[in-house]
A and B are shown apart, each in its own frame.
Chain A
Amino acid sequence: DGGITQSPKYLFRKEGQNVTLSCEQNLNHDAMYWYRQDPGQGLRLIYYSQIVNDFQKGDIAEGYSVSREKKESFPLTVTSAQKNPTAFYLCASSIDVPGQGGSTEAFFGQGTRLTVV
């Protein structure tokens, strides 16, 4: 089955800890994204990557870091510098970046709910 897999589904973090959220896709998509959803809010872009070994900050990148060492994988690390990390995190991928000559939809994973305890 082709798709995007996020793990874990639920994650608890203590104050001051870094945690890493996993995102894997087998759709052979070049572009991958991390969004954050808070109650009553839309999806806000944290980071995106157009190709392997390249990534760019989105609208709310502070306190987060990513890597893109493989096409299939785009892990997100929530660092202790992120002041309000409790949220629902969504990873997505698309064939190419919207607007870059292709108007393609993004496919989303099932999300990871991160809670700071």
Chain B
Amino acid sequence: DQQVKQNSPSLSVQEGRISILNCDYTNSMFDYFLWYKKYPAEGPTFLISISSIKDKNEDGRFTVFLNKSAKHLSLHIVPSQPGDSAVYFCAASAISGYALNFGKGTSLLVTP
């Protein structure tokens, strides 16, 4: 039973434009959310996170928005760069949990 859902398997964006990656979750106990970036045949690298007490967290070109009532979060990348092309995983943890729950990932392609 997938508790973290990334419904878009892929996304293509032009360089310089905004990339918006979406994530939905079903477990209302989740209180911490993370985004990871992954290149083929490599381990995921941590990108940005947000606690449930916030609705926005910004780090350079990356901003994560959290809408608790809708159980939805999104990652905005602006401006998008070709080096951002990778698979992005959304993950969540619960205060009573023991590990991160991951979505299936969204493959982002940024074209020149």
Contact = CB atoms under 8 A, between A and B. Distances in A.
Contacts of A56: 98
Contacts, number: 73
Interface residues of A, number: 30
Interface string A100-117: 100101111111010000
Nearest to B49: A105
B34 A111 contact: no
A63 interface: no
A110 B43 contact: yes
Interface of A: 4, 6, 33, 35, 40-45, 48, 50, 56, 58, 88, 90, 92, 97-100, 103, 105-111, 113
Interface of B: 2, 4, 6, 9, 31-32, 34, 36, 41-46, 49, 51, 89, 93-100, 102-105
